[in-house]
Amino acid sequence: MEILLLVFGSSFAVFFITMGMNSIIKRNSKTKFYFIGVIISFIIAFIGFWKIPINTENNLSNKNDVTMSKDQGSIITNLEAMDSQAVSSVIKNNPLNVSFINNGLNGAVLIQFDGKNILVDSGKTDNIKYIEDSLKGHSVKNIDSIILTTSDEDSIGAAADLIKNYNIKDIRYIEDSIKNGKSFKDIQSSAEVNNTIVKKIDSSYSINNAIISTSSITKGVKVDFKFPEDQYDSSIQAMSFVKDSFNNESNQNLRHSVTTSCDSLGNIVVSVAAYRN
């Protein structure tokens, strides 16, 4: 439309100028009419000329802006949705939670992954109610495995009750000295009720995709949980550490500590150490 205005305005301007010149030469009475026509033609041409660059640039700019805005918005929205889904999927499907019970002094360490609940030690008999309340707070309805690191009664005294109450089928120990402890017979009796046996950890073994191994450290032992890099490299950011406190006593001589690391292959290693002060 703007181009038409420019063309028609210019054409009529030329026409009226030509006719006006002839009218002046011939002293025609239509000179005034031609003069008005020239002015109107120039106005029409100017409007057309003025509109073309502004509309063209603005339209192109606006269209590009709108297109880019929509595209960018769509891309950002899609990326955010994908990230949200990925993170939700990782957290939902591959959570890796480590919880200290009894503030990391004696008590127990709870490892949760792939829907499994693994308990390292149990705490002492006097704390059984608090231990079970704490487990309930961590949504633990059953325990898949318990690993006993020592013969210390403050660390494994509650094991027999937990084995019965949580129907634990996988019961393992590290040190042979546990057999001389006061709780061992009770632990064996609870295992028999669950139609299982108490096994010593002689080598590494697996629970789902986690590889569990043990080793000796100064004044204690260490239990390593190795998680595959391809399944847990993202969820390491979602790992939670929780400390529960109850009946803390200063005479406790065994402590638990947890460290995390990655091996040379990128696998995540959660190490639970039980050691004497």
Quote the CA–CA distance of 177 and 130 in Å, as a whole number. Answer: 27
Edge-to-edge order in the sheet of strand 108-113: 198-200, 170-173, 145-148, 116-120, 108-113, 96-101, 240-244
Q: What is the pLDDT of residues 45-91, one digit of tens each?
A: 556 556 655 444 444 444 444 444 445 555 445 544 544 444 334 44
pLDDT at 172: 96
What are 261's two structure tokens?
């690391």
Spatial CB neighbours of 115, under 8 Å, sequence gap ≥ 6: none
pTM score > 0.85 for this model?
Answer: no
pLDDT band at 151 (very low <50, low <70, confident <90, very high): confident
Distance CA(253)–CA(275), nearest Å, equals 8
* Ramachandran class of 22: left when φ > 0, alpha when ψ lies in -120 to 50, beta otherwise: alpha
Residue 125 pLDDT exceeds 90: no
Pairing type for strands 205-207 and 210-217 reads antiparallel
Residue whose tokens read 């064996």: 188
For the cut 60, the answer to whether the pLDDT of residue 277 exceeds it is yes
Angstrom distance (rounded) from CA 156 to CA 212: 19
Q: Cβ distance 114 to 257 under 8 Å? A: no
Q: Which residues contact 30 (CB under 8 A, 6 or more apart)?
A: 19, 23
Q: Where are the alpha helices (DSSP H) in 157-243?
A: 159-165, 184-193, 229-232
Contact 236, 96 (CB under 8 A): yes
Structure-token pair, residue 60: 């192109």
Per-residue model confidence (pLDDT) at position 24: 64
Query: What does the pLDDT average to over 181-199?
Result: 93
DSSP string, 76-138: HHHHHHHHHHHHHHHHHHS-EEEEEESTTBSSEEEEEETTEEEEE----GGGHHHHHHHHHHT
Strands 96-101 and 240-244: parallel
What own/partner pairs with CB < 8 Å and gap ≥ 24 does 71-80 have? none
What's the confidence (pLDDT) of residue 171? 97
Q: Are 252 and 154 in contact (CB under 8 A)?
A: yes
Residue 240: burial class (beta carbons within 10 Å; 0-12, 13-18, 19+): exposed
In this prediction, residues 186-202 reach a mean pLDDT of: 94
